[in-house]
Amino acid sequence: MIVDCAHYRDGRRQHEEAMDLDRAAALCLESGDDGFVWLGLFEPSPELLAEVQRRFGLHELAVEDAQNFHLRPKLEQYDASVLFCVLRTARYDGDRAEIDFGEVSIFLSERFVITVRQGTRGDLRDARRRLERRPNLVSLGTSSVLWAILDKIVDDYAPVVEGLEQDVEEVESTVFVGAAAPTERIYFLRRETTEFYRAVHPLLGPLDALQRGAYVKVSKELSQFLRDVNDHLKLVNEEISCAGLYLWFRRGGHIGSA
């Protein structure tokens, strides 16, 4: 389904309501328009995604990737004009003490951004609203949308780290009072931590490159915002690595020892 579709020009959204697909595709072909379109899709049907592919000229391999879940995020240049990104979203469910994962695929060119969300986690409405409140960034073009999405996803990683650290502390407290640490719980936490690490760590290199302008043109102002996201991502990576090392140590024959 289409969640939202908007045309941006001179740093501003040009209308309140979502555009239809015909108008959005036509705007991207108008040579006199220097704005861009952001089309947001949520778990689109194969028929809708095929229609979007046809109208916007998306690479078939990238479209196929957008329909499937991946273990790792990635940034790839399928052709000279469109950058394709896959990002993992995550949310810690405190009631179940588990992480829910989702995925956002992004097609980025100078004239359009197409986002495809899979999974209930990772709503991008807040990212869109936050960006629309910064016309100075919107005026920089589609790369500003990529920043807004990255910023939202990485911000959402922080509560996940907090939830995992709380779970690890509960395991530690069990060990320190001399009781046997629950083996099943440690194995589950290690699996959750590993999957989260796979969502975070592979993004470090591409984000460094993105900040330097390796994938898309990035202004000095936007580079500063990307550096802030990069710093937050590195902090998350360090914290989840520490949690993973602790759980690996506990699993490796030291379970239940003080």
What's the token pair of residue 67?
């329909």
8 A C-beta contact, residue 44 and residue 1: yes
Is the pLDDT reported for residue 257 higher than 70?
no
Q: Using alpha carbons, list the distances in angstroms from residue 172 to 160, 182, 240, 256.
A: 18, 11, 16, 10
Read off the amino acid at residue 175.
Answer: V
Cα 76 to Cα 83: distance, rounded to the nearest angstrom: 6
Highest mean pLDDT among 159-173, 174-188, 235-249: 159-173
How confident is the model at residue 258, as a pLDDT?
A: 32
How confident is the model at residue 80, as a pLDDT?
A: 79
Using alpha carbons, select from 34, 36, 35, 3 the residue that is nearest to residue 17: 3
Please, what are the domains in the chain? 2-251 (3.30.460.20)
- Map residue 215 onto helix, strand or coil: coil
Cα 2 to Cα 39: distance, rounded to the nearest angstrom: 7
- pLDDT tens-digit profile of 6-58? 999 999 999 999 999 999 999 998 867 789 999 999 999 999 999 999 999 99
- Map residue 180 onto helix, strand or coil: coil
- pLDDT tens-digit profile of 75-121? 998 877 899 999 999 999 988 889 999 999 999 999 999 999 998 66
Is the pLDDT reported for residue 256 higher than 50?
no
What's the token pair of residue 200?
């975070």
